[in-house]
Amino acid sequence: MDADVVISGAGPTGLLLASELALAGVRVRVLERRLARHQESRALTLHPRSIEIMDLRGIADRFLELGRTVPGWHFAGLPQRLDFSALRTRHGYCLFLEQARVERVLEERVRELGVEISYGHELLAVAQDEDGVEVTVRAPGGESGLRAAYVVGCDGGRSRVRDIAGIGFPGTDATMTSMLGDFMDIDHDAIAAVGEDAPVLIVPLESGATRLVVTDPLRMRVPASEPVTFEEFRDALVRMAGSSFGIAEPRWLSRFGNATRLAEAYRVGRVLLAGDAAHIHFPAAGQGLNTGLQDAMNLGWKLAAEINGWAPAGLLDRYHTERHAVGRTVTANTQAQTLLLELTLLPDYQQPVTALRELMNDLLQIPEVNSHLAALVSALGTSYPSSDDDPLVGARMPDIPSTATDGRRLRVSELLQTGRFAYLDFTGAQEGAAAVAAGWGDRVEVVAGDPPSAAGDLVEVLVRPDGHVAWVRRRHETPDVAARESALRTWAGAPRQAAVTT
């Protein structure tokens, strides 16, 4: 085969997936129809969970040194901010970082791991059989074919991979559109005079430009496919904010809508979807790019396990089970947020919607409500379904420190930097650590030592490569060798001894 996995799309989702696969020794080829990376940035933020997953691979600092952090974020543009700093995480903030810079860092990471990125290469067709896929590619030199075990569509909302695979993309068409413009020349005194209540989103970019986002009732029914003109954008600013802010030649103008769709399946045989190819929605609270990154983190280790031959039955199918449910949650909450904005702009609804927004704003001042929505938007509240009734199973593993018997003091995030599982043994007897190391040491990083205070009553924990908990035992529970082995077999496959015996 030419590659184990072909990824269509070199955006953030495709690049992170490529790095995850390469980390596990999988041969990856990334195809991108663009001739070079985008210089424009549709997305502008990384949320706490996205920063956490970068930390799980030891690369969070690469992003943090380029961006600017703020402790809170918004829900539906309400004045009362979501407080990310109140959540249980080492990264309780939103990172302002333009998508172009996120892609640049991820591309550097991918190239470090030896992955080939083929710009100017457009995927045309995919044919799958029992043993793999045949991919037809159009490149500057003409058409050619690639043979791989799997293909993953990370090729955006108009995904060709999704269409070729015949995967349905049900949902709703756009009922409103907004416009964005990036400008270098802008009158900041005029912006200051308007104040924070102006119905225009104003975001200073790290590049030195300023982004303006406006939703004009007179232009909100224009299709997203219609290009924005400078005159249209300037006139909308004057109508909505009373000023053009002195804008001059734009660096970029774009129109985007609230079309909302969710793929019926994230996997059909040897074809998989991730990112915008699997879900599109209005960029309410900036969840799109972040959801795609988290798709990639969930899929990478599962697909690598399948290719490397140790995946237990059904592991790869869990990708759809886990992430489709997240996609449904994201599309639902973005629709709710967008409706609050859209109805505000319609004269017949302004009074009742204003009352509703004031009520929602009051509710956000209740700490429990604020934390609930902050966990939803930040994805820190994401917990995958499990038959285990322990609330930690399926949820994110807290990034607690632990001291190993060899004296190493490591956080959970440091244990996962190789992309393997982590098993924490706080029993003191180290019998579990010895058994796990002997049977699964090629897939599991084992640490045994004294329990830190942050561990509470946890005595054994199996953490998945994506940082979610696979299995736990607490101090009040009787040691259960069979339960531990069952969890390991369910998630990390058969032990090495079984493989040798067979």
332-354 pLDDT per residue, tens: 999 999 999 889 888 888 889 99
225-277 pLDDT per residue, tens: 999 999 999 999 999 999 999 999 999 999 999 999 999 999 999 999 999 99
Q: Is residue 359 part of a domain?
A: no
3-state secondary structure of 7: strand
Helix H or strand E encompassing 395:
none
| Pair (60, 167) in one structural domain | yes
pLDDT of residue 404: 58
pLDDT of residue 451: 81
- Report how far residue 233's alpha carbon sits from residue 440's, in angstroms, rounded to the nearest whole number: 59
Place 59 in a pLDDT band, splitting at 50, 70 and 90.
very high
Out of 234, 257, 280, a domain closes at 257
Q: Is the pLDDT of residue 499 over 50?
A: no
| Pair (110, 212) in one structural domain | no
Percent with pLDDT over 90 in the chain: 84
| Pair (15, 113) in one structural domain | yes
CB neighbourhood size of 64 (10 A): 18
- Report how far residue 331's alpha carbon sits from residue 171's, in angstroms, rounded to the nearest whole number: 10
CATH number of the domain where residue 196 is located:
3.30.70.2450
How would you class 194 by CB atoms within 10 Å of its CB: exposed for 0-12, middle for 13-18, buried for 19 or more? middle
Domain residue limits at 446:
401-501
Q: Is residue 71 part of a domain?
A: yes
Helices (DSSP H) in 263-316: which residue ranges? 288-308
- Report how far residue 186's alpha carbon sits from residue 65's, in angstroms, rounded to the nearest whole number: 27
| Pair (293, 335) in one structural domain | yes
314-328 pLDDT per residue, tens: 999 999 999 999 999
Distances (CA, A) of 241 to 193, 195, 238, 245: 10, 10, 5, 9
CA dihedral sign, ordered 291, 292, 297, 301? positive
Give the dihedral of Cα atoms 450, 456, 457, 461; nearest 10 deg.
-70
HSE toward the beta carbon, residue 490, CA cutoff 13 A: 16
> What is the DSSP annotation of 338-394?
HHHHHHHTSGGGHHHHHHHHHHHHHHTTSHHHHHHHHHHHHSTT-----S---TTTT
Q: Is residue 373 part of a domain?
A: no
Out of 257, 291, 312, a domain closes at 257
- Report how far residue 95's alpha carbon sits from residue 50's, in angstroms, rounded to the nearest whole number: 10
Contact between 416 and 56 under an 8 Å Cβ cutoff? The reply is: yes
Contact between 486 and 310 under an 8 Å Cβ cutoff? The reply is: no
Distances (CA, A) of 384 to 4, 321, 328, 462, 465: 27, 9, 13, 15, 14
| Pair (113, 222) in one structural domain | no
Q: Is the pLDDT of residue 23 over 70?
A: yes
150-203 pLDDT per residue, tens: 999 999 999 999 999 999 999 999 999 999 999 998 988 888 887 666 678 888
| Pair (270, 407) in one structural domain | no
pLDDT of residue 197: 64
Q: Across residues 418-426, what is the average pLDDT?
A: 95
pLDDT of residue 429: 83
- pTM comes to 0.95
| Pair (122, 108) in one structural domain | yes
When divided into structural domains, the chain yields a total of: 3
Q: Across residues 474-489, what is the average pLDDT?
A: 95
| Pair (152, 57) in one structural domain | yes
| Pair (10, 89) in one structural domain | yes
Q: How far is CA 289 from the centre of its chain?
A: 6
pLDDT of residue 501: 40
- Report how far residue 338's alpha carbon sits from residue 345's, in angstroms, rounded to the nearest whole number: 11
